[in-house]
A and B are shown apart, each in its own frame.
Chain A
Amino acid sequence: MSGASKTVSTTLWSLVLFATLAVFAATLYTIFVVAPVEKQMGIVQKIFYFHVPSAYAMYLGFGASALGSAVYLLKRDARWDALGVAGAEVGTLFCLIVLLTGPLWARKAWGVWWTWDPRLTTTLLAGMIFAAYLALRSMGNAGEVEKRFAAGLALFGLIDLPLIHYSVQRWRGVHPTVITGKGGGLESEMYWALGLSFIAFTGLAVLLIWARASAERQREEAARLRFELMHR
């Protein structure tokens, strides 16, 4: 990367970082001060404002991983492979957040920590597919075969994403459908809190994918130099 483009990239990264931090502060204020406490569930409903955007950030991460993997399989360009790794890692992080915050809400709302509801099950499945991707990539320096196999796994994981989204509409389950077509919706202050949280989590996911992809490209460069030294 040239000096000028590196400066532009750093400036842009800093701008997104500060904007994300500002939106996170506004989001927390809106969640805890502006948005009312939900009538039926009480204060535990406020988990929703981080739980749902985390699920959306998980889609972004896994989507980025599948995109990077698909282009890598077509072009064999290491930059796209780096995007695949970064997306899988960030998506798995948000998937973990979803799978941990969901049960904390469910304990109060359903009386159980976990139930084999279609949406919960398909989310767990997506997490396991991309965890397998990361396990495959973490076995030392991945060669071409491992990279291609992992890219195929990411594309397989992509199939599960629409299943997660439409599972509440297609199959009988207990997961709430508040903000989907069938749902009863939210109060306006609740929409504000959720909307701001969506923006904050988008910024966070983009920053994390960006930084992780950059670190992965550096790792690739280090691997190339090691190879060059070994064959000297």
Chain B
Amino acid sequence: MHALIAALVLACTLLISPAARAQDTGAEPEAASGQAEETPAEERATQFVGVTGPEAESIPGGGLLLAAYAVVWILIFLYLLRMRGLQRQTAEELERLSAELRASGGG
């Protein structure tokens, strides 16, 4: 009896496993192609690769470079102007206050 059951299990296994394997191999290419489509979009770039041909300069690099350096100098210049104004205003106020203190007899 045990031998009969064992033979049945073996037969079933031998019959089912090729069918299951066939299903697996049928599904595999689809999953693999899906994964291949996702990879470039999701992975972090490890190098910069230049575009060759007419698309290479679609965004003008020179203009962006000029804008960046202009931003740096303009902001520094404006800050220097602001600081100069602040120093001048404070110096005038200090002079006025000192004069007022002297006039009131405390200087």
The answer to whether B97 touches A222, judged by C-beta atoms less than 8 angstroms apart, is: yes
Task: Point out the residue from A96, A105, A174, A221 that lies within 8 Å of B64, measured CB to CB.
Answer: A105
Residue of A nearest to B75 (CB): A97
Give the secondary structure class of B's interface.
helix
B86 is an interface residue with CB less than 8 A from chain A:
yes
- Find chain A residues with CB under 8 A from B97 CB: 222, 225-226, 229
- Find chain A residues with CB under 8 A from B87 CB: 211, 214-215, 218
Interface range, B side: 20 to 34
Given the known inter-chain contacts A44-B61, A47-B65, A104-B67, please indicate yes or no for A96 contacting B75, CB distance below 8 A.
yes
The answer to whether B48 touches A211, judged by C-beta atoms less than 8 angstroms apart, is: no
The answer to whether B101 touches A228, judged by C-beta atoms less than 8 angstroms apart, is: yes
Q: Give the docked Cα–Cα distance between A222 and B83 (Å).
A: 16
Taking Cβ atoms with an 8 Å cutoff, the residues of B that contact A are: 44-45, 47-50, 57, 59, 61-62, 64-65, 67-69, 71-72, 75-76, 79, 83, 86-87, 90-91, 93-94, 97-98, 100-101, 104, 106
The 6 sampled A-B contact pairs (Cβ below 8 Å) are A47-B64, A104-B68, A105-B68, A107-B59, A204-B76, A225-B94
